[in-house]
A and B are shown apart, each in its own frame.
Chain A
Amino acid sequence: MSRSSPLLTALAMFTMGFLYLPLLAVAFFSVNATKYGLVWRGFTLDWYVKLFHNEFILEAAWNTLVLAVVSTIVATVLGTLLAIAMNRFPWSRKTNTFLDLVLHLPVVIPDIIMAAALVVAFGLLRVISSAFEPGLFNMIISHITFQIAFVALVVRSRLVTLGQEIEEAARDLFATTPYLLWRVTLPLLLPGIVAGAMLAFTLSLDDFVISFFTAGPESVTLPLFIFAAVRRGVTPQIHALSTLVLLITVILVVGTERLTRKK
């Protein structure tokens, strides 16, 4: 295999086309003037304008944002503390293996299993309190649950690369534990915490399966809205909405790339 041959380029282009053709088709038909069918009837931005007058879509966008922001804040705090506790506290080997296993669970098991477990758990909790009716509250709890694991894993890998020397130096200089955490460990960890929070935020925005299982009628998010609309039959407005979501994804990905590459 040579480093670059026409065959290699052709195969790579085929794969790229395979990834992008469907997405480009969505963008293409989002500016098509016809309401039914896939025949080109001229350029229009009407579907985008209608989007911003559709109260269901605006509400779904709001729900998606509230869910992502609230769950990310909670998960970042809890995940960071968990990473520090796991890495800096002398657990026994057995406990450590167990903690490690629990932390990897949301990463490795298919999300539908986690969704099923949460549905059953909320179903039983409903007997105790009506707060656990399907809805935004349950969704926030569910998102936090998988986000904690991702945040903790990212922050922990940063902790491991940092090593303990600086903290030990601070200890030698009589730093108290709160001072050490607040003025030494956390500032050093900040890039890891930001990376973990961004990962958690994107995962929440992107999530479909767990939201689908835990959502109620009042807490539709954008992915859920698109799914329901697609099952009824796709409309150009859905293409426009999907294209916007796609653009936001591109901005987030490119932005994250820029941020992480500078460091």
Chain B
Amino acid sequence: MSPGMLWLMVFLVLPGLVLIVVSFASRGAYGELVWEFTIENYRRLSGFTLFGWTADYLVIVWRSVWVAFVTTGLSVVLSYPLCFFIAGRPERTRYLWLTMVIIPFWTNMVIRTYAWFLILAPELPFAKLAALIGFISPGTALYPSAFAVYLGMVSMFLPFVALPLYASVERLDWTLVEAAQDLYASRVRVFMQAILPQTLSGLSVGVILTFVPAMGMFVVPDLLGGAKYMLVGNLIQQQFGASRDWAFGAAISMGLMALTMLSLYIYRRRSKEVEYV
């Protein structure tokens, strides 16, 4: 047994198992853990309360999946032109452009998120324009809002899609694209049948690298969404922070884990299908 594996057992696998157990425990009057096992936390997560059923928590869970979905979609749409642009540069400048995509990838996420405060501030043209068309009331900022969350999320995860996608675009066989064009394929058809299948390997890595962490993201909705646009990450953080309800926090984490496993499962099935084609 290597010491590294022992370490992972003690501080990763064991805590993971403990988290599962804790998700069935209860919260004491002072926020301490009480070892009375119930499925109350999961009932609560699915909306059953003392006063009947509410969709509050399910809405947050569903919203997280939706935000992750939209974020991934927008990042893919923006990444394709970017990757083709970079791949079309001469070799000398190509690495410069690529480095320009890598830098935000490594920049601290707190900084990249709060930077949007400045762009969306009431003094700047964007918020003034939005006030002019009646999107917000004059003199207020564009955050916190759902719109700001999407901006923050897409700018956060775009490099996660663009970098793996670029690896595929760079190796693209252009003769296939030209052949399709010579045979009068429409632009859409050229993309769907000559470009997409060739870039699918990089794309699928980018999609999974974005979708899974986007579902559990907590910094962006916390700073840019506030109470208006809570995601499951904020809900978990709340249980371990202010609410001091570890058992419920553990149950929500298990819910997020289930969603993660489901996405990975779909991804693996999809990528197996791709191999057969």
Contact = CB atoms under 8 A, between A and B. Distances in A.
Interface of A: 1, 3-4, 8-9, 11-12, 14-16, 18-23, 25-26, 29, 37-39, 78-79, 81-82, 84-86, 99, 102-103, 105-106, 108-114, 116-121, 123-124, 141-142, 144-145, 148-149, 152, 202, 205-206, 208-209, 212-213, 222-223, 226-227, 230-231, 234, 238, 242, 245-246, 249-250, 252-254, 257, 261
B24 interface: no
A2 B207 CA distance: 25
A253 B99 contact: yes
B175 interface: no
B118 A26 contact: yes
A81 B4 contact: yes
Interface string B232-270: 010011001000001001100100110010001000000
B78 A15 contact: yes
B227 interface: no
B159 to A, nearest CB: 7
B177 interface: yes
B95 A112 contact: no
A156 B104 CA distance: 27
A81 B100 contact: no
Contacts of B136: none
Nearest to B20: A117
Interface of B: 2-5, 7-9, 11-16, 18-19, 22, 33, 78-79, 81-82, 84-86, 88, 95, 99-104, 106-112, 114-119, 121, 123-124, 154-155, 158-159, 174, 177, 187, 190-191, 195, 212-213, 215-219, 223, 233, 236-237, 240, 246, 249-250, 253, 256-257, 260, 264
A85 B7 CA distance: 14
12 contacts: A1-B190, A14-B78, A15-B78, A15-B79, A82-B3, A102-B13, A108-B212, A118-B15, A142-B11, A148-B4, A148-B7, A212-B237
Given A23-B104, A38-B123, A116 B264 contact: no
Contacts of A78: 2-4, 7
Contact of A223 (B7, B33, B110, B159): B110
A121 B18 contact: yes
Contacts of B22: 120
A38 to B, nearest CB: 4
A26 B103 contact: no
A152 B126 CA distance: 46
Contact of B106 (A18, A212, A213, A249): A249
Contacts, number: 231
A254 B85 CA distance: 21
Contacts of A254: 99
A249 to B, nearest CB: 5
Given A1-B195, A116-B240, A202-B106, A141 B11 contact: yes
Contact of A109 (B110, B117, B124, B257): B257
A253 B212 CA distance: 25
Contacts of B11: 118, 121, 141-142, 144-145
Contacts of A213: 237, 240
B165 to A, nearest CB: 12
Secondary structure at chain A's binding surface: helix, strand, loop or mixed? helix
Contact of B246 (A1, A81, A120, A246): A120
B232 to A, nearest CB: 9
Nearest to B126: A21
B118 A38 contact: yes
A23 B152 CA distance: 12
A110 B102 contact: no
B5 A116 contact: no
Given A112-B253, A253-B102, A38 B121 contact: yes
A236 B10 CA distance: 43
Contacts of A205: 108
A11 B256 contact: no
Contact of A152 (B4, B88, B101): B4
A96 B256 CA distance: 27
Q: What 5 pairs between A and B have smallest CB-CB spacing?
A: A110-B216, A82-B4, A22-B115, A12-B85, A121-B15
A112 B233 contact: yes
B272 to A, nearest CB: 17
Contacts of A37: 123
Given A12-B84, A123-B33, 6 more contacts: A81-B4, A105-B16, A226-B114, A227-B110, A253-B99, A261-B95
Given A120-B250, A124-B18, A85 B4 contact: yes
